A and B are shown apart, each in its own frame.
Chain A
Amino acid sequence: AQTVTQSQPEMSVQEAETVTLSCTYDTSENNYYLFWYKQPPSRQMILVIRQEAYKQQNATENRFSVNFQKAAKSFSLKISDSQLGDTAMYFCAFMEGNNDMRFGAGTRLTVKP
């Protein structure tokens, strides 16, 4: 079974600074998808960014970018110019073609003013 590991239970960052959240995963498959989801306090989970494993280019969405290292099975999220609204739980997730989405344990990010 695939596993997703987030080794940082909690992190904090000053507003306007940059923070990187780590994620590693384990799979024997070659084709899969990786995601970062954000779950704000008492609100629903939403997608932040997605990466297809067959694409070498790292995905970018405005202030959010990933560093995808397929050989190392690493998928980190970089948040630039952190904003107070970025405070949330961040979950790394993995999906294969069988539609099972597996989540890591999450990293609680606090952006400090």
Chain B
Amino acid sequence: DAMVIQNPRYQVTQFGKPVTLSCSQTLNHNVMYWYQQKSSQAPKLLFHYYDKDFNNEADTPDNFQSRRPNTSFCFLDIRSPGLGDAAMYLCATSRGGWVAGELFFGEGSRLTVL
């Protein structure tokens, strides 16, 4: 059974049209992450939540926002997508804390910007 579920798997949007990607988890993990992965590149951390504490990477554009209304769900909002935002967006979870465990990834949401 899938433990980290991302929706939609594929999203096509127009330049400047807002997009929301969702992630849900059944693991009850404390930490949820959003990564951006462009073709043949390393996943780039955008932000993560430790419970309700939001941690934004310094170089994450303001165009990207996130919400975590409860333990199970996390959303990535792209307010005005540009062509450069076309990428795979990966959601991941971990238990967090010093018991640093593995990250559990979803299958990703591939965003195309026309």
In the bound complex, CA of A108 to CA of B108 (Å) = 19
Name which of B40-48, B65-73, B78-86 contacts chain A.
B40-48
**With contacts defined as CB atoms under 8 Å apart, how many contacts are there between chain A and chain B in the complex?**
55
The number of chain B residues with a CB under 8 A from chain A is 25
Chain A residues numbered 11-40 whose CB sits less than 8 Å from any CB in chain B: 33, 35, 37
Q: Which residues of B contact A106 (CB under 8 A)?
A: 40-42
When the two chains form their complex, are residues B107 and A43 in contact, meaning their CB atoms are under 8 A apart?
yes
Instruction: Kindly supply a per-residue 1/0 record for chain B positions 80-105, scoring 1 wherever the CB is within 8 Å of any chain A CB and 0 otherwise.
Output: 00000000001010101110111101
B105 and A44 contact, CB distance less than 8 A: yes
Contacts of A100 in B (CB 8 A): 45, 48, 55
Q: Which residues in B have their C-beta under 8 angstroms from that of A101?
A: 33, 45, 92, 94, 103
Interface members, chain A 66-112 (any B CB < 8 Å): 91, 95, 97-106, 108
Binding site for A on B (CB under 8 A): 4, 31, 33, 40-43, 45, 48, 50, 55, 90, 92, 94, 96-98, 100-103, 105-108
